[in-house]
Structure 1
Amino acid sequence: MSELLESREYRKKALKEIILALHQGKSVEEVKGRFRELLENVAPTEVSLIEQELINEGLPVEEVQRLCDVHAAVFREGLEKAVTPDMVPGHPVYTFKEENRALTKLMEEEIKPLLEELEKAPQTQEKELALKIAEKLNLLSDIDKHYRRKENLLFPYLEKYNITGPPKVMWGVDDEIRGLIKKAKALALEYVPGQKEELLGKIRETLAKVSDMIFKEEKILFPMALETLTEDEWYHIMEESDTIGYCLIEPQQEWRPSRVNIQEKKLVTSEDERYIKFPTGFLTPQEIELIFNHLPVDITFVDKDNVVRFFSATKERIFARTKAIIGRRVENCHPPASVHIVEKLIDDFRSGRKDKESFWIRFGDKYVLIQYFAVRDEEGNFIGTLEVTMDIKPLQAITGEKRIMDN
């Protein structure tokens, strides 16, 4: 047993040295020979573990991301020998792979032929072909759903097992691909004569990146995830996938794990009684209170019987509230001149004639937006009225874009 562990540790160390050698400037060809000598077969998880360790040891994620394409080129020969587990329709990995097949077909059978046609076309036909390519790139941009399911459903489960490095690296490459598709589509839509080579180059770079990501997913990410996640976790990923959507295809059936009873993975253990369970997570009463009090809006809730039940205690409330208001009927909290407006609004909510109403007023140096929302349960029954108030003057002053954090 110790010999096996030592062998595994030796392979990991050697592979780390190969990656670091690449980082220090050696070419892919220079390290390929050593790679072949060290490994006949490499488990997909080992590549990810190596990246994880490099990040843990201080190598910036951006550096590992920069090396990601080189890693794939070096390890491709070994990884292509790996056997991908057979999957059944409806399983999240099966769906991911079906999307990859659809993406590959789109690139190989629809986009690349158009690129070849554009390359040989006379200038008079370039604009028309560029617009056809833009339509296909618009289909390719559907890849965002594939990546969002991977990033927002699969990655969180991997992170629970302390697998954080590879997801960060892959997410960075996903964003590169999104940016490339956006730039390529803009070039195609706004095509002018003389941009043929630029357009062709950008699209070919994009397609190469997408193809490389398909390889990395199917030979590294998915096998690693299948080795790590439980059936319960895969089932929960499948359940939530519909909320994001699918890329180019729709699953034809639902996957059921071999076990009949699906148990939810516990997010809290030793002090469960302190937590209030929601469909989307767990919070303590203190956390709930602090969240309400840190929202950039003031909130007041009036129940179905017109009784004030709650207000948030933000630091700078626009309209003052005291605890004495709790338990009062809402009509008693307004001056007589405006009571009829309040009563009419709540009556409209209760009857279903309205679901929301908004007002905006000048209040000192503030420009205040006051919104009212009918709160209903899943059956549509009226539960109460939510008042949300905020100063929108600072929002009106926003222009342009801000993409970096203040010092």
Structure 2
Amino acid sequence: MSELINNREFRVETIKKILAQLHEGKTVEEVKSQFAEAFEGVSAEEISQAEQALVNEGMAVEEIQNLCDVHAEVFKGSIEEIHRGEEPSELPSHPANVLKAENRALENLMGEIKTASSQVLPDLLKNLYQGLDIHYKKKENLFFPYMEQYGISAPPKVMWGVDDEIRTMLKNVLKTAENGSLAEELQSAISETFVKIADMIFKEENILLGILLENLTVDEWKQIGEDSGDFGYCLIESPGKWTPEEEPAAERARNASDAMKTQRNEAGLIQLPTGSFTVQELTTILDTLPIDITFVGKDDTVRYFSQSSERIFHRTPSVIGRQVSNCHPPASVHIVEKLVEDFKNGIKDSEDFWIHLGDKFVLIRYFAVRGQGGDYLGVLEVTQNIAPIQKITGDKRLVSE
């Protein structure tokens, strides 16, 4: 029997059955005792595989998301540590270490909020929301793409959905505080939200990091570290650049390859029907345009994005090759999928959206890209802050001093 229990497939299958029972209505205590009888511990990878199997068998991501906290409660205290010679999450400036440092900062701020006066409470809650949003955006845009590349797609979707739930809850708490609602009502809302945030911290450090540390290469961690600065940091100072003790082999090979490409590009031009550019010229022109451009190919994967100095929505190199449906929160992904389908079927050629983001008024435009024969090539997303344009009045015919 012990050989059977140690069999990885058997363990994942057992975890899957336990999760399924939760969804059928069994209590945490009933399932937890069953879990304890079968296992001494469980790895983050096994939980991930079990959730993925449920999705593959037809269970909706939203259904798993609704009981995500229950899943964590069942396995809390039982998740095995992955033993390594040197724990990456303890290395200064390593992205795993940064994630944990940000979580400690979130916990400290939540502790401060619990005893704060009504005068300072709205500002503290606003700081918490802004920090949490940065923290979650990094997770969703830097960690999740790599997980998807390794075939781990269900846990990111579930976690992203819960992230959005927490964002909404915290926004509502902030509104309640700003409106001067009854102290009892406000404290109840704060308590409920903080429990949700604390549960997510547990999942990040005991499940998410376990999966990432088990799968990601040094090169991938290094890239995440380099891209993190584009988003900023959650309630902590910039940790500085993390550099592995030795340059990874893949990094050396890539540097050599880049050098060869540069030499070739310097000698050649990109020839277009109405002119030509060097790679540097074309890249700089696209990055100079006062708009953000993202191109999704006909296979529904992200192929290119521009890097203007005032990009509105964060993009990092890890998004290249990512399925466009995985680049959006679960709550809005159906809109994206329907739009792409309409473009492919020729029902639509474009679609516009506009939203307010702080002092920005953002126009988001989508265009079907078609060849000369009308064949579908992909989707072009063009984003621009049009707030300054809306303020234009009269005529301007002279050069500014």
Structure 2 length-normalised TM = 0.61
Shift of 1:175: 0.4
Distance 1:358 1:81, change over 3 A: closer
CA contact (8 A) 1:90 1:254 kept: yes
2:99 corresponds to which letter in structure 1? F
The reply to whether residue 65 of structure 1 matches residue 65 of structure 2 is yes
Q: SS at the partner of 1:131? A: coil
CA contact (8 A) 1:131 1:189 kept: no
Distance 1:24 1:254, change over 3 A: same
Which of 133, 136, 142 aligns to 2:124? It is 136
CA contact (8 A) 1:130 1:189 kept: no
Q: What's the CA shift string for 1:219-270, capped at 9, x where partnerless?
A: 000111011111111111111111111100123321112432525599xxxx
Q: SS at the partner of 1:77? A: coil
The reply to whether residue 101 of structure 1 matches residue 104 of structure 2 is yes
The reply to whether residue 208 of structure 1 matches residue 204 of structure 2 is no
CA contact (8 A) 2:18 2:31 kept: yes
The residue that corresponds to 2:155 in the other structure is 166
Instruction: Determine the C-alpha separation between the residues in 2 that align with 1:283 and 1:18.
Output: 39
Shift of 1:130: 2.6
Distance 1:249 1:357, change over 3 A: closer
Distance 1:75 1:83, change over 3 A: farther
Q: What's the CA shift string for 1:186-231, capped at 9, x where partnerless?
A: 1001114xx2222111100111111111100000001110111111
1:147 corresponds to which letter in structure 2? Y
Distance 1:218 1:233, change over 3 A: same
2:219 corresponds to which letter in structure 1? D
Distance 1:264 1:69, change over 3 A: farther
Q: What's the CA shift string for 1:54-103, capped at 9, x where partnerless?
A: 11111000000011000010000202766693431111111111100111
Instruction: Determine the C-alpha separation between the residues in 2 that align with 1:179 and 1:313.
Output: 32
CA contact (8 A) 2:22 2:28 kept: yes
Distance 1:21 1:132, change over 3 A: same
CA contact (8 A) 2:43 2:80 kept: no
Identity %: 45
Q: SS at the partner of 2:76? A: helix
CA contact (8 A) 1:89 1:251 kept: no
Distance 1:359 1:230, change over 3 A: same
Distance 1:189 1:17, change over 3 A: same
The residue that corresponds to 1:404 in the other structure is none
Shift of 1:37: 1.1
Instruction: Determine the C-alpha separation between the residues in 2 that align with 1:140 and 1:66.
Output: 24
Structure 1 regions of 5+ residues with no counterpart?
115-128, 267-275, 298-311, 316-355, 362-407
Shift of 1:13: 1.2
Moved >4 Å (runs of 4+): 3-6, 80-84, 263-266, 276-285, 294-297, 312-315, 356-361
Alignment of 1:273-352 (within 5 A): none
The residue that corresponds to 1:229 in the other structure is 216
Instruction: Determine the C-alpha separation between the residues in 1 that align with 2:170 and 2:223.
Output: 30
The residue that corresponds to 2:53 in the other structure is 53
Which of 69, 90, 93 aligns to 2:93? It is 90
Distance 1:281 1:161, change over 3 A: farther
Distance 1:208 1:284, change over 3 A: closer
Q: SS at the partner of 1:216? A: helix
Instruction: Determine the C-alpha separation between the residues in 1 that align with 2:391 and 2:135.
Output: 40
Q: SS at the partner of 2:165? A: helix
Alignment of 1:9-28 (within 5 A): 9-28=9-28
The residue that corresponds to 1:177 in the other structure is 166
Instruction: Determine the C-alpha separation between the residues in 1 that align with 2:164 and 2:46.
Output: 24
Equivalent pairs counted in the alignment come to 277
The reply to whether residue 256 of structure 1 matches residue 243 of structure 2 is yes
Q: SS at the partner of 1:135? A: helix
Deviates more, 1:256-265 or 1:160-169: 256-265
The residue that corresponds to 1:29 in the other structure is 29
Q: What's the CA shift string for 1:349-370, capped at 9, x where partnerless?
A: xxxxxxx999999xxxxxxxxx
Instruction: Determine the C-alpha separation between the residues in 1 that align with 2:223 and 2:159.
Output: 22
The residue that corresponds to 2:115 in the other structure is 113
CA contact (8 A) 2:93 2:242 kept: yes
Q: RMSD in angstroms over aligned alpha carbons?
A: 3.8
Distance 1:136 1:9, change over 3 A: same
